[in-house]
Structure 1
Amino acid sequence: MIAPYLRHVTCQQLFFVNLQRPKNGGPLVGKAGRRVLKPRPIPDPRHVITSWVQLPLFTLPRDFRQFDRERHADLANPWLVRARQTARAMGEARGWSCWIASDVDRALVIVLSGYCEGESIRYSELFPALRVRGLLVVRTAEVLDRLGLFSDDRAPAVDRWLERKLHEVSPGIRRDVEAWVRTLLDGGPRSEPRARQTAWTYLNEIQPVLLEWSGRYDHLREVTRQDIATVRDAATGKQRESRIVALRSLFRQAKKSGQIFLNPTIRIRVPRQAGGVFQALDQADVDEAIATATTPDLRLIIALAAVHAARPKMIRTMQLDDVDLGNRRVIVGGHVRPLDDLTRRAVLDWLDYRRNRWPNTANPHLLITQKTAVELGPAGKLWTTRATRNLSATLERLRVDRQLEEALAHGADPLPLALVFGIDEKTAIRYADSARRLLETSSESLNAVKHQRVIKAEDLADRCLLQVKTSWHHYPESEPSLLHMWLHMDGLGPVRFHTAGDGLALEIDQPHGPYDMDEYGHTTVEEDPRDFPTSPFVGEQVLSVREIRYRDGNLDFAVGITVQFPSGSIRILNLADELVLAHDQHLGPVEAYLHEATTNAAPDPSS
């Protein structure tokens, strides 16, 4: 029956065995199995205003300082009722004391008694009214912000900082620099935001260069490769490297955004500075830091830095869950470490103090303060470093000393160091190199480094000044400050001048190299710095040295010396723990209490 049809068949469809899907097994193939496009989501219906709202024609500043509770309080205002409920909930969640809750309640009555829907309470209106009554501005603003009623009309801190740094820069350059700094802080389409400290350091480093260019150029596109080379050659040491790195970042961003046609920093080579050798702390410096730990919080901070090599930021951001007392483990910077007896005892003492001092706090951080006990954030940087800030053994130095000690104990092997502290392999290699150099140093040289020789000021007499070296501390948003000064004297070597108590100390000590202090800035070392007060006397012989004493009533102690050269004299003083150098200029009111001896003498460092 099918023969007539077979004669019309010109081709046949072949099927391979076992490749046909069962009728009801698995997904459909071919046209029947194509994906069906998902229907577009139905948009949410527009919000319908069920009650009328008075739109403001213009906004007048309100003065809450004229508020009188007896005449103006409206405790039935629905927004005030809702805000007071929100404040009670926040207070219970954060452990507010009865005094804080009472102050916030009083503040809410002041600002919300006459509130109408649609209004916004600005910070400029809130602050004067609450501050004059001694009420809490921050806590009240948190409650209002939770309800969507608060508007912070303060100028952002970054805007004030940029205005202060760039107010003398030409408008064309300033526009590009501001865009670059904001990209560093906030990120861009193809760039991640950088740390705030990085943006501060970069701009502080190149601000003098931008001011110099503003006198000649109107835009960054006018800067040439020769200008970059001049900037590179004018700086030395670590400053040269950091300045070129910042300029590369600036011009790379300007090229990416189309503000310049050619990047002048391309192929500008700067030799990388070799890191200095880490030095161990003297036992006396460590003992001094331990002696300052007189409270439970300070003892815990010192233990975390000196035993577990924790950075200050790691210490203040540690949470309660990071301490496992049962299993004797602690998490420091994301790295699990065994909990030793000393740290465990410090943790238990602190937890007892914390529980008795703030029993209702909900802050999850391990270390809290009077301020953060009613918040959820970490303690501040200054609070964490307050005990050792003016000591030789700072928290950062204690951390470095602990890691160096571990490197020396393992024979300068970087692998155990990386495993113990969870640090980067490059950092571990640097510590291992420092340990190897210290181990290779002969015992005589090591003793000479560790035990500095104290000299008297009269030992400088009749000796020639060969060279001047200075050490400077650079911190964001502040001018560099003088840390140490070395005068290389003929027959003595480098003599370091530094503050010691109320007096001035002179020690024969080799100058240290530049080093980084992370979020606390960095230090640089300069040789024969230009325009430094002692530089004009290089090559001259010291004729005499006279003592300068501070006398005020019963106070009488040495604060410095006057060094006389053939071409002039220089005063070197310790004023308020700051190393001050002056020629003949007047030093202000303190000048009346400074008395210079008429004969040669030496200041007593222990006075």
Structure 2
Amino acid sequence: MPALAQPRPPIGQCPSCGTISTLHPLTGRCRLCRRRDRARRRWEAGDTRDTRRAEAVYGGQQLFLDGMEHKLALAMKGSRHRSRLRPTQPRSTTPPRPGPIRPLPYRQLVLFDATRELVRDGRYVELPPPPVSRLAEALEAAAIEYGPRHGWTDSLIGTARRGLRVLLALQDTPGAPIRASEAAVLSQLSRRALTVTPVLAVLASVGMLDDDRVPAIVPWFNQCASGLPHRMARELTEWFTAMREGSSRAPRLHVRTDRTVRNHLTVALPFLKTWAAAGHDSLREITKDQVYAAAARARRPGQRKDIISAFRSIFRLLKARGLVFANPTTGLRGATIRGQTPLPLTVDELVTALDPAEPTRAALAALLIFHGIRPRQLRSLHLLDHRDGRLHVDGLVILLAPAVLQRLTTYLDFRCRRWPATANPHLFINVRTASRTSQATYVWVNKTLGIPASRFREDRILDEIHASGGDVRRAAELFGLTIPPLMRYLATLNHRGLGG
């Protein structure tokens, strides 16, 4: 069976009516019995809005013609937006009312952490109602208030409400802040479309979230360090902690991004494992010749520079902390890296990217092709950065070309129609970021364009160099660069096939 194929419902004897029919995979009953029980529960709970109570005939079943029930539901008064006004209490028909939310300052300790199982033997486990009903009602009201402000659909609001009730029912200390690690249990209910992100957003907005999530780089580093000798792993942990948290003692360090730390570790770990396999228990035993040999194994100048930078960062801190006797990277220089010759894009690639049939791609490409802004600036642009026919970015004011204005206007119309209630302030958003306030990723930008965004910027800079006859000062002021990065563009003036 393919991985994405949905299994067919089983066929068997219904335990309620005894007929041979298709059974629901979770309840084990036929469809007519499930609908009869659901209508009966609604009627017994006091839901007077559902006029289809005729199907809840005791001792019988109400038949429906195919497709007629859906049309009947659309014609019923008060049937729309029912998910938003679903009663909180079992016998209540009123929407949840806002109330005070005061997290408890204490937490009841448990003897051991039990694994939460919400699905057992292919069936959903029946959970008790939340122990603090007022808190559940207040949190659901907060979700209803938070959702429309951030452009959530009714289904997403309903998902958040159901997820909140599940987490409240599983609390060991009712009323205490909910840990983010505890909310991960909702991933077991993925078939019911329960996701963690909207639930965490609502909890954080009312101060009920205890964010104990561990960055992904920490377990990854622990896994990598577990294969090293104890002393070497301890020394590497000292460097890892200083890089991520900063250091106020020598050598003083600013907090580095996880991406920088991961890049250094990815380069250094293969050599560290090789040294450990050779019998070295500590980085104190590593000599300059071994570091030279590691750098000599680089296949290209850029890789050699990365190796030297990674070991220089590690040994410089360990030497200052007194964990190694000498810094073996002293006097070791990386190779001079010459940038690759920038190549222009073809006319067909530019025309395809500017095709107005796809407003998002056309707007992204227009800003890159006509004005050569940086890819990171595309991601961080806000709606208010585009005003009066100008683009305000990083202290620069760019007068937009008519073709760019036309495509931006088309994209903004598409954005308004597609996500009319989104609260995301960024100019470029997608399906994922429309319900959040974060910016889009590099992957999304490059995938939407079909070509890496940096290629469009290189093409624009290359065109400017050739059009101005090699005026690097003008290009530096236009694109916010210094002179050295522009020298590789200047070298293409006499290049055969790239002449202006």
TM-score scaled by structure 2? 0.69
Cα distance 1:415–1:195, how it changes in 2: closer, same or farther (>3 A)? farther
- 2:61 corresponds to: none
- 1:357 corresponds to: 418
Stretches of structure 1 lacking an aligned partner (at least 5 in a row): 1-48, 451-607
What secondary structure is seen at the aligned counterpart in 2 of 1:438? coil
Letter in 2 for 1:399: R
Match of 1:273 among 337, 344, 350: 337
Match of 1:78 among 123, 134, 145: 134
Cα distance 1:59–1:152, how it changes in 2: closer, same or farther (>3 A)? farther
CA displacement, residues 154-177 of structure 1 (integer Å, 9 cap, x when unaligned): 653112322454443333223322
> Does the Cα contact within 8 Å between 2:217 and 2:262 map onto a contact in 1?
no
Equivalent-residue separation in structure 1 for 2:369 and 2:149 (angstroms): 35
Q: Cα offset for 1:56?
A: 3.0
- 1:58 corresponds to: 111
CA displacement, residues 218-275 of structure 1 (integer Å, 9 cap, x when unaligned): 1111111221222233334222222112111111111223221211111123342233
Equivalent-residue separation in structure 2 for 1:288 and 1:180 (angstroms): 48
Answer with 123-132 or 235-244: which moved more.
123-132
What secondary structure is seen at the aligned counterpart in 1 of 2:344? coil
Q: Does 1:310 align with 2:365?
A: no
Cα distance 1:145–1:439, how it changes in 2: closer, same or farther (>3 A)? closer
Q: Does 1:198 align with 2:260?
A: yes
Equivalent-residue separation in structure 2 for 1:207 and 1:74 (angstroms): 48
Match of 1:218 among 260, 263, 281: 281
Identical positions, percent: 26
Match of 1:251 among 271, 295, 315: 315
Equivalent-residue separation in structure 1 for 2:290 and 2:304 (angstroms): 14
Q: Does 1:162 align with 2:224?
A: no
- 1:367 corresponds to: 428
Cα distance 1:53–1:403, how it changes in 2: closer, same or farther (>3 A)? closer
Cα distance 1:247–1:319, how it changes in 2: closer, same or farther (>3 A)? same
What secondary structure is seen at the aligned counterpart in 1 of 2:370? helix
- 1:185 corresponds to: 244
- Please identify which structure carries the higher helix content: 2
Equivalent-residue separation in structure 1 for 2:485 and 2:405 (angstroms): 30
- 1:410 corresponds to: 468
Q: Cα offset for 1:353?
A: 0.7
Q: Cα offset for 1:57?
A: 4.3
Cα distance 1:128–1:405, how it changes in 2: closer, same or farther (>3 A)? closer
Cα distance 1:308–1:164, how it changes in 2: closer, same or farther (>3 A)? farther
What secondary structure is seen at the aligned counterpart in 1 of 2:492? helix
- 1:140 corresponds to: 199
Equivalent-residue separation in structure 1 for 2:109 and 2:262 (angstroms): 41
Cα distance 1:166–1:286, how it changes in 2: closer, same or farther (>3 A)? farther
What secondary structure is seen at the aligned counterpart in 1 of 2:397? strand
Structure with the greater alpha carbon radius of gyration: 1
> Does the Cα contact within 8 Å between 1:205 and 1:242 map onto a contact in 2?
yes
Equivalent-residue separation in structure 1 for 2:383 and 2:471 (angstroms): 33
Equivalent-residue separation in structure 1 for 2:357 and 2:202 (angstroms): 37
TM-score scaled by structure 1? 0.58
What secondary structure is seen at the aligned counterpart in 1 of 2:243? helix
Q: Cα offset for 1:401?
A: 1.1
What secondary structure is seen at the aligned counterpart in 2 of 1:279? coil
Cα RMSD (Å):
3.0
Equivalent-residue separation in structure 2 for 1:436 and 1:56 (angstroms): 68
> Does the Cα contact within 8 Å between 2:366 and 2:404 map onto a contact in 1?
yes
Cα distance 1:59–1:145, how it changes in 2: closer, same or farther (>3 A)? farther
- Please identify which structure carries the higher strand content: 1
Equivalent-residue separation in structure 1 for 2:108 and 2:297 (angstroms): 61
Equivalent-residue separation in structure 2 for 1:336 and 1:54 (angstroms): 53
Equivalent-residue separation in structure 1 for 2:420 and 2:449 (angstroms): 28
What secondary structure is seen at the aligned counterpart in 2 of 1:337? strand
Equivalent-residue separation in structure 1 for 2:345 and 2:287 (angstroms): 46
Letter in 2 for 1:412: G
CA displacement, residues 258-306 of structure 1 (integer Å, 9 cap, x when unaligned): 2212111111233422334333333344345446x74111111111222
Equivalent-residue separation in structure 2 for 1:192 and 1:131 (angstroms): 40
Cα distance 1:75–1:209, how it changes in 2: closer, same or farther (>3 A)? closer
Cα distance 1:289–1:172, how it changes in 2: closer, same or farther (>3 A)? farther
Cα distance 1:165–1:290, how it changes in 2: closer, same or farther (>3 A)? farther
Q: Does 1:99 align with 2:155?
A: yes
Equivalent-residue separation in structure 2 for 1:255 and 1:359 (angstroms): 57
Cα distance 1:198–1:155, how it changes in 2: closer, same or farther (>3 A)? closer
- 1:437 corresponds to: 491
Q: Does 1:207 align with 2:269?
A: yes
What secondary structure is seen at the aligned counterpart in 2 of 1:145? helix
- 1:544 corresponds to: none
Match of 1:261 among 305, 309, 325: 325
Match of 2:454 among 378, 396, 402: 396
Match of 1:239 among 297, 303, 307: 303
> Does the Cα contact within 8 Å between 2:359 and 2:410 map onto a contact in 1?
yes
